[in-house]
């Protein structure tokens, strides 16, 4: 073997060892973080940290995880500004009867019309009516749509999905951040964004391995979630210097609600109740991206172990959801 070849072999051998050691260290770091985040973290005193008697703004609280958010914040003594469909009035009444002493403002809105002029004016006026005393924004609303085949999907359904899934989060974040900036510096504020699992970590080989989530038949809905993911992370990066404003960007997998027919509560399909309660343990303890529940977090590396079956699984998931949606489309939030 020539001297040059010997040098090249030694170099490649050392490089492979370094890569393996680096990946093992990454695996160890994320394993420890996984264990700590999902099993050792305890909920903070939120009223003390974010302001007792302050208001929480929640979009899409009429059902599912949005409704659970409203219940859990009310249980902890926070006042609420609920923005959603006509069904939100029922949630308002239920919470008011159960949690005496809290104040609730309900604004009925169809988020598919968020591009209309002055759509957000009533929301801004409601926040001003409580003197901007808001501590949380929960960007929860979305318009889940599924259609098969794509070329037969109604045009207005595409528009509604994009508007509800992108414009609302962007505008609500803009509105609430202005008030967060003006709060007393001894109290924290927090933006909680609910997006989706948009991308997998594949050890840096994104050009070689398919590391994106692609769900057939849910293309527009998942694209809107991807927008939410990147918008949330970009704004978080922009405001990192503001120590009193926190961002928690949640990337859930399947969440079981009254709107998810034929989806059972399992290790990887998490009930809305479990999902939201886990988020409350993260608030104030973590910032940035999180899967919230260990079942969703665990699904990512498991899929990475067998990426060749990922698309098959996601196609089956999308097909089942599209069949359920097309038989009884849910157009309320």
Please state the domain extents for the chain: 44-327
Separation of CA 260 from chain center: 17
Token pair of 15, please?
């490089």
Percent of the chain with pLDDT over 70: 85
pLDDT of residue 74: 97
Q: Which of 52-61, 173-182, 199-208 has the lowest average pLDDT?
A: 199-208
The mean pLDDT of 184-202, rounded to a whole number, is: 81
pLDDT of residue 210: 52
The mean pLDDT of 133-145, rounded to a whole number, is: 91
- Distance between CA atoms of 121 and 109, rounded to whole angstroms? 11
Nearest to 278 by CA among 31, 39, 77, 54: 39
Nearest to 225 by CA among 190, 258, 191, 197: 197
pLDDT of residue 163: 94
pLDDT of residue 310: 65
Q: Which of 54-68, 122-136, 150-164 has the lowest average pLDDT?
A: 150-164
pLDDT of residue 330: 47
The mean pLDDT of 131-146, rounded to a whole number, is: 91
Neighbours of 219 (CB within 10 A): 18
pLDDT higher than 50, residue 331: no
pLDDT of residue 37: 87
Q: Identify the CATH number of the domain defined by range 44-327.
A: 3.40.50.720
Angle of helix 272-282 relative to helix 64-75, nearest 10 degrees, comes to 50
Q: State pLDDT tens for residues 77-96.
A: 999 999 999 999 999 999 99
- Mean pLDDT (the chain) is 86
pLDDT higher than 70, residue 308: no
pLDDT of residue 199: 58
Q: Which of 137-146, 295-304, 319-328 has the lowest average pLDDT?
A: 319-328
Q: State pLDDT tens for residues 200-236.
A: 544 444 444 455 667 788 889 888 998 999 999 999 9
């Amino acid at each position: 073997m020539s001297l040059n070849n010997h040098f090249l072999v030694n170099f490649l051998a050392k490089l492979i060892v370094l890569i393996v050691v680096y990946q093992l260290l990454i695996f160890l770091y994320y394993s420890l973080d996984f264990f700590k985040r999902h099993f050792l973290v305890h909920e903070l005193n939120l009223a003390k940290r974010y302001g007792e008697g302050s208001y929480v703004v929640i979009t899409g609280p009429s059902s599912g995880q949005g409704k659970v958010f409203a219940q859990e914040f009310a249980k902890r003594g926070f006042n609420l500004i609920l923005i959603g469909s006509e069904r939100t009035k029922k949630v308002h009444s239920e919470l008011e009867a159960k949690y005496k002493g809290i104040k609730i403002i309900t604004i009925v809105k169809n988020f598919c019309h968020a591009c209309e002029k002055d759509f957000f004016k009533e929301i801004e006026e409601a926040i001003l009516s409580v003197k901007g005393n808001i501590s949380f924004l929960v960007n929860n609303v979305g318009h889940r749509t599924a259609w098969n085949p794509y070329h037969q999907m109604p045009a207005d359904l595409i528009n509604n999905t994009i508007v509800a899934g992108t414009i609302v989060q962007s505008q609500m974040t803009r509105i609430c951040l202005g008030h967060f900036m003006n709060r007393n510096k001894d109290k924290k504020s927090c933006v909680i964004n609910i997006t989706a699992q948009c991308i997998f970590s594949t050890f840096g080989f994104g050009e070689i391995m398919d590391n994106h989530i692609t769900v057939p038949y849910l293309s527009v809905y998942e694209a809107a979630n991807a927008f939410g993911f990147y918008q949330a992370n970009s704004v978080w990066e922009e405001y990192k210097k503001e120590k009193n404003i926190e961002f928690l960007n949640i990337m859930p997998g399947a969440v079981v609600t009254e709107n998810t027919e034929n989806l059972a509560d399992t290790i990887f399909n998490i009930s809305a109740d479990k999902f939201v309660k886990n988020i409350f343990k993260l608030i104030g303890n973590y910032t940035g991206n999180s899967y919230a529940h260990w079942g969703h977090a665990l699904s990512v590396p498991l899929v990475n172990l067998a990426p060749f079956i990922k698309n098959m699984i996601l196609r089956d998931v999308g097909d089942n959801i599209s069949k359920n949606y097309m038989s009884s489309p849910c157009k309320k939030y």
